[in-house]
Every structure is written in structure tokens, then in C-alpha cells.
Amino acid sequence: MAIVIIRQDGKASHWKEILLSTSKNIPIYEFGEEHPKEDITMALVWQHPKGSLKQYPNLKCVASMGAGVDFIMADSDISENITITRVVDPMLANDMSEFVIACIYSHLKNLSFYGQQESQKSWTRKEYLSKEDVTIGIMGLGELGRTLAKDLQHQGFQVQGWANSRKEGIHTFLGKKELTQFLSTTSILVCLLPLTEDTRNILDKELFKKLPKDAYVINVARGGHLVEKDLLNMVDSGHLSGASLDVFSQEPLPQDHPFWGHPNIHITPHIASISSPKSIVPQILENYNRLAKGEQLKNVVSTSKGY
Ligand code: NDP
């Protein structure tokens, strides 16, 4: 039984080192180095190259090295008898929550506007908003969305959510039927949905029209959720007051993209919350040990739901 790490961002060696420092006895290989293909039972992947999993005849588990699994779901080489797992990590949820809350306060207090004013040495005051003025609507009340909801409530924000099933302690709107009602009462919309067939391109013109005028959009989930030209049109037409975006349909964002330099669209390079090897390695090793003993794995993804 061996593990292969497949990722193309140059971080595979770092992950391998940390895995080996925690558990010296497990054979761990980086994709690309010489290794016996038939020994591999577990693949740790992040944006793995197409076709890379095909060569492992005894693969039993494909583990996402992050919270998202959309890139795994899109891989037709993965057969039904392979278990897909993902990261569930309180640190990841906490980092995401802090990031989104920072975006919300930055919007309420016009911090990006003042950043632009400062570079022009301009002393211009603008009216600000307080938490009482807004209702935060979170699309997706999973591992990350629920933590954010709790943290916002703790700070005194009005919070509501949208999901497939009701959640305790937060006013939840359910599915397509209640989406319009959810949107019409949301002034800051946060997308924390998984990217699935149902949610791809969900943040489009029709959805934005249902938000009240001057609503603000924060997308920290996946670029595939957003129809970028629709957002641009709705911000430029004045229906939306602006957006904070951490994820994009093409990353890195192309140099000539109209989001760059837009005064009301604030972008960050997919850094809202980054999986920390120290925090995640123990759960990878736990699943490896469970796999060895034939036990049920943790954090298994539903292939029928796609998340
Ligand atoms: P989860 O899978 O834990 O939660 C998904 C939530 O979305 C659930 O509440 C689910 O409802 C809801 N949902 C799914 N499909 C629908 C639908 N069609 N209609 C209504 N609700 C739906 O996801 P996470 O919280 O772990 O991750 C959220 C997103 O954040 C992912 O896209 C992930 O890729 C992204 N992410 C981004 C990072 C960044 O740095 N920008 C870092 C980490 C993650 P129910 O509970 O009823 O099933």
C-alpha cells in the first residue's frame, strides 16, 4: 500500500516531507518520480493532470488536498469503486471566515475607496455603513459557510443562509423554491457553494437582479460559479455596489481582464483560505490507516451530490 502525491504547483515535495516526518513507514511518492504503479492505493491530488490517475490499477481512494472536489468530479477516469475524500479542517474554516469578515468590514467602511484616495493624496469623506444596515446572505452552509454564519452572528450581524437542507441556529432558505426570497432580503451575498452541475454559473444576471439595489457580492468559492461579464454589467449599471472576488474562471486572472483596476471590484489571488499541511496531514494518515484496515474512511464525498 503506497501513496502518490499529484499536484502541479511545485508543492508536492513539501507535502511529502511533512508526511514522512509524521509517518516514516509509509511509502510515499511524488508523481513523476519512479514508483511501482500497482502499489498505489491512495492518491493525494490537487488539480492533477488529466489522465494521471489511469495508471494506478489498485487505486482505492482519491483524496483532495483541499476542501473543493470539483476537479476530481470532472475526472472521468475515476471509477465508481474509488472513494473520494476531501479536507474538513477547522483551521481552513476559521481562515475563510476571517477573510470574508475582513471583506465585509472593508466594504462597510469603504477601505478600498480610501486606498485609492490615498494613492491620489485626496482627502475625501464617504458615508459608511454599520452592521445594522445589512443582512448577510450565505449561499452554502457547509463546513465553511456554517462557521462564517456563526462568527458573523457572534459579531452581531443579521445572517441568513441558502442550502439544500435546514441548519440549526440560522434562518435557512431551501433550494430553488426559496432562492428568490433569500436574495430579495440579502444585502451582502457570500458564495460558499461547491461547484457542481447545479451551481455552475449560478451567480448570473438573473440572480443579481433579484438582489436589492446596491447589494454587494463576495465570491470565495469557485470561479465557475460566476458569470463574470454579468457581474461587470450589474456593477457598471449601478445595480450592484461592487464585489470582492477571490476565485476566477481563469487563474491567474489574465492581464487584460476588465476586473483589474475596476474601482468597485476588489480581487485577491485565490488566497481566502489555504490548506495547511500541518493541520491536514493527520487526517490524510488517519484515512490511509483506515484504508489499510478496510474501515470506513472519513470526510467521504457523495459522488451523487457532487460535494
Ligand atoms: P461543503 O460541501 O461543506 O458545503 C456545501 C454547502 O452548499 C452545503 O450547505 C450544501 O447544502 C450547499 N449546496 C450544495 N449544492 C447546493 C444547491 N444546488 N443549492 C443549495 N445549496 C447547495 O463545502 P465547503 O464549505 O467545504 O466549501 C465551500 C466552497 O469553498 C467550495 O466551493 C470550496 O471549493 C471553496 N473553497 C475556497 C477556498 C478559497 O481559498 N477561496 C478555500 C477552501 C474552499 P446541504 O448542507 O443542504 O447539503
Domain assignment of residue 112, yes or no:
yes
The string of DSSP letters for 137-156 reads EEE--SHHHHHHHHHHHHTT
Peptide bond into 282 cis (omega under 30): no
Does residue 163 sit within a domain?
yes
All three cell numbers of 107: 466594504
73 and 114 both lie in a single domain: no
ipTM: 0.99
Distance from Cα 192 to the centre of ligand 1, integer Å: 5
In this structure, the answer to whether residues 77 and 106 fall within a common structural domain is no
Q: Looking at the structure, do residues 146 and 235 belong to the same domain, yes or no?
A: yes
Give every residue of the chain whose pLDDT is below 70, as ranges: none
Task: Output the CA 267–ligand 1 centroid distance in Å.
Answer: 20
- CATH number reported for the structural domain that contains residue 44 in this entry: 3.40.50.720
Per-residue b or e along 260-273, where b marks 16 or more CB atoms closer than 10 Å to that residue's CB: eebeebbbeebebb
**Do 151 and 225 reside in the same domain of the chain?**
yes
Q: Please tell me which residue in 200, 239, 270, 290 is annotated as part of the active site.
A: 270
Pair 118, 99 in one domain: yes
8 A C-beta contact, residue 298 and residue 283? yes
Q: State the pLDDT at residue 278.
A: 86
Q: Do 121 and 51 fall within a single domain? A: no
Instruction: Give me the number of domains the chain comprises.
Output: 2
| DSSP label of 161 | E
Distance of CA 91 to the CA centre of its chain: 14
Indicate whether 94 and 235 sit together in one domain.
yes
- Examine the domain organization and report whether 242 and 283 are in the same domain: no
Pocket test for ligand 1, best of 9, 144, 176, 219 (most atoms within 8 A of CB): 144
Domain with 69, as residue range(s), is: 2-89+275-293
Long-range CB pairs of 27-35, under 8 A, 24+ apart, other chains included: 27/1, 27/2, 27/3, 28/2, 28/3, 28/4, 29/2, 29/3, 29/4, 29/5, 30/4, 30/5, 31/4, 31/5, 31/6, 31/7, 35/2, 35/4
Distance (Å, rounded) from C-alpha 76 to C-alpha 190?
30
Annotated catalytic, 270?
yes
Beta bridge partners of 162: 139, 173
Tell me how far the alpha carbon of residue 204 is from its chain's centroid: 18
Q: Give me ligand 1 centre to Cα 259, in Å.
A: 24
Residues lining ligand 1, judged by CB closer than 6 Å? 66-68, 92, 96, 140-145, 162-165, 175, 192-196, 198-199, 220-222, 246-247, 270, 272-273, 307
Q: How far is CA 222 from the centre of its chain?
A: 6
User: Residue 123's pLDDT is what?
Assistant: 98
The rounded distance, in Å, linking the Cα atoms of 289 and 284 is 9
pLDDT of residue 109: 98
Same domain, 151 and 257: yes
Return the SS3 of 39. Answer: helix
CA atoms lying within 13 Å on the CB side of residue 61? 28
pLDDT value, residue 127: 97
pLDDT reported for residue 279 = 87
Atom of ligand 1 nearest to the CA of 142: 4
Q: What is the pLDDT of residue 302?
A: 97
Residue 285 inside a domain? The answer is yes
Q: Are residues 139 and 171 in the same domain?
A: yes
On whether both 112 and 73 belong to a single domain, the answer is no
Cell of 172: 435557512
Atom of ligand 1 nearest to the CA of 140: 7
The one catalytic residue among 7, 107, 222, 225: 222
